[in-house]
């Protein structure tokens, strides 16, 4: 199964993490994938969900997401006509995944408002969802939640409540190895992993992660962008990096021409 996820769903490496994730799911557990920006949380979750072949619903968390979007809601015109009948209820992603025994991918769960997170509690441990006017809805076998989140130190993220964390197993993803990053960039730019542009783009993105002047370095997404753009600029990786990196790194000192001089020195590494 791990190999088929890698081959058929385009996941490079992550053999150990995929093994952990599948073991949890086979044990009927819900999984929280945690790691910094761009390490492949969404890609891994999507690939696993697709490989399980169970039906798959995806939700992207944000601060304005509401309980009724997650659970579903009554269609007002139909309620006027027929009253609060089950047919008048339009199921949301949580209820759909529960009734289908499918996979619910909750991307960026910690960005959801606390009220929405709380709705999940009984569904996660008892497979139970109480819907006003409809009553108790029960999950079919196979229902599983794969959630993703950035670690708490990242902007615009909060901590999950203890109660919610207690219902998940944690699989951590760290940055890919250099060889894996080259393979990922190569697969998305249709180049050979040994192409000079790819090697340089990956080296540049990685160098941003251990420079003391940079608070938060760039992910493989930056390497993909640098390689992609450089190929259209006659292989000029430095010029591409000046376009791709400013939006993706956070400097310790944001003043002046700090970025420009940092890029000059990264080039030499």
Ligand X SMILES: Nc1ncnc2c1ncn2[C@@H]1O[C@H](COP(=O)(O)OP(=O)(O)OP(=O)(O)O)[C@@H](O)[C@H]1O
Per CB under 6 A, residues contacting ligand X are 10-14, 35, 37-43, 148, 150, 184, 220-221
Q: Quick one: what does residue 48 bind among ligand X, Mg ion, none, with the CB cut-off 5 to 8 Å set by partner type? A: none
**How far is the C-alpha of 189 from the C-alpha of 98, rounded, in Å?**
38
If the CB atoms of residues 16 and 138 are measured against ligand X, the closer one turns out to be: 16
Query: Minimum distance between the CB of residue 69 and ligand X, rounded to whole angstroms?
Result: 20
Residue 221 CB: number of other CB atoms within 10 A?
Answer: 17
Of 176, 170, 172, nearest in space to 218 by CA? 176
If the CB atoms of residues 107 and 123 are measured against ligand X, the closer one turns out to be: 107
If the CB atoms of residues 84 and 154 are measured against Mg ion, the closer one turns out to be: 154
Q: Quick one: what does residue 11 bind among ligand X, Mg ion, none, with the CB cut-off 5 to 8 Å set by partner type? A: ligand X
Query: Minimum distance between the CB of residue 125 and ligand X, rounded to whole angstroms?
Result: 26
Per DSSP, the three-state class of 204 is helix
Per DSSP, the three-state class of 91 is strand
Query: Minimum distance between the CB of residue 197 and Mg ion, rounded to whole angstroms?
Result: 25
Query: Minimum distance between the CB of residue 188 and ligand X, rounded to whole angstroms?
Result: 6
If the CB atoms of residues 13 and 193 are measured against ligand X, the closer one turns out to be: 13
The residue with its CB nearest to ligand X is 40
If the CB atoms of residues 40 and 72 are measured against ligand X, the closer one turns out to be: 40
CA 98 to chain centre: 21
Query: Minimum distance between the CB of residue 38 and Mg ion, rounded to whole angstroms?
Result: 8
**How far is the C-alpha of 13 from the C-alpha of 81, rounded, in Å?**
55
Number of helices (H), then strands (E), belonging to the chain: the values are 13, 11
Angle at 46 between CA 42 and CA 50, to 5 degrees: 175
Q: Quick one: what does residue 267 bind among ligand X, Mg ion, none, with the CB cut-off 5 to 8 Å set by partner type? A: none
User: Residue 257: phi, psi to the nearest 5?
Assistant: -100, 30
């Amino acid at each position: 199964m791990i190999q088929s996820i890698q081959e058929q769903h385009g996941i490079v490496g992550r053999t150990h993490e995929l093994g952990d994730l599948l073991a949890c799911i086979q044990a009927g557990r819900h999984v929280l994938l945690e790691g910094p920006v761009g390490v492949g949380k969404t890609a891994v979750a999507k690939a696993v969900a697709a490989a399980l072949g169970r039906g798959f619903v995806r939700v992207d968390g944000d601060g304005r997401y509401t309980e009724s979007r997650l659970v579903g809601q009554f269609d007002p015109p139909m309620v006027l006509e027929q009253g609060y009948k089950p047919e008048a209820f339009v199921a949301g992603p949580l209820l759909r995944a529960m009734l289908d025994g499918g996979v619910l991918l909750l991307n960026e769960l910690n960005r959801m408002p606390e009220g929405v997170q709380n709705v999940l509690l009984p569904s996660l441990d008892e497979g139970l969802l109480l819907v006003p006017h409809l009553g108790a809805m029960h999950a079919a076998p196979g229902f599983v939640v794969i959630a993703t989140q950035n670690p708490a130190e990242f902007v615009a993220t909060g901590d999950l409540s203890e109660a919610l964390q207690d219902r998940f197993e944690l699989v951590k993803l760290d940055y890919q190895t250099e060889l894996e990053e080259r393979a990922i960039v190569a697969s998305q730019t249709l180049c050979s992993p040994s192409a000079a542009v790819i090697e340089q783009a990956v080296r540049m993105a990685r160098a941003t992660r251990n420079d003391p002047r940079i608070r938060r370095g760039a992910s493989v997404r930056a390497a993909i962008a640098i390689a992609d753009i450089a190929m259209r600029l006659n292989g000029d990786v430095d010029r591409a990096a000046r376009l791709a990196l400013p939006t993706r790194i956070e400097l310790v000192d944001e003043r002046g021409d700090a970025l420009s001089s940092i890029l000059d020195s990264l080039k030499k590494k």
